[in-house]
Structure 1
Amino acid sequence: MTALAGIGRVVTYMLAAAFATLLLTTVSERRLASYGTVLAVALLAVALGGVNAAIASLLKRLPRGAGCLPFAIIAMAADATLLFGVAVLGTATRLTPWGVVVGAAFATIASGLVFSLWDEPDGVG
């Protein structure tokens, strides 16, 4: 993989995390989460996307067909931990406990889609 493709892969994970972050606010009508600034959304997307890209690059080394479930479990735990940390720090972001759970689920689903389109080896299934 070239350096440009690697950067594109990480940026794709960050865009998926930004989508999940904004989807949480939109779907819950700001009851589960609200973000004070665009910078808060961008920083959260960079953090979530970076973590999920790192997890995906590690899981690509697993045997064929064994990557989906471990990715989902590890990514969900990492996303929930990261969102909980953001909620505790209160960095221009308000997240309820359910916001952390639902946000982690949204981020995991979005990252799972990116994983299946970008990182999953061809011919799996």
Structure 2
Amino acid sequence: MREEGDTGEVADDATDELASVAAVLDDPHARAILAHTAREPLSADELVDRIDGSRSTVYRRAQRLVALDLVAESREIDPDGHHFSTYRARLDRVTVDLDADGFTVSVDRHPVEDDAVDRLNRLFERLNGP
């Protein structure tokens, strides 16, 4: 990641990433999605039930978070054979450092740990659910 120079002109991707991440974190719906999906993977329907937002708001914010690689999206199969997505937060930390050379932005992300075995276990749990 490059840094912004002393001239104040954007010289790199660091400033763009900072602006994008800051903009999405300024949104209360995006923050709520990150907070809830940091605990467990959730579908859009589950997120709608947990946050104060419409289905379209949840989908838009989730896709924005996925595009910024702050949330991982996985495809699931429910017991009736339909597919749906679940979301899991990847964001760990955003750090902005300022020194004499300018700003350095780092976004730390959790590795994607969800695999086929995890998805199969969740499907089995849903099939044998309450």
How would you bin the TM-score normalised by the shorter chain? 0.3 to 0.5
Q: Return the structure number with greater helix share.
A: 1
Structure having the higher Rg: 2
TM-score where L is the length of structure 1: 0.33
TM-score for the superposition, normalised by structure 2: 0.32
The structure that is strand-richer by fraction is 2
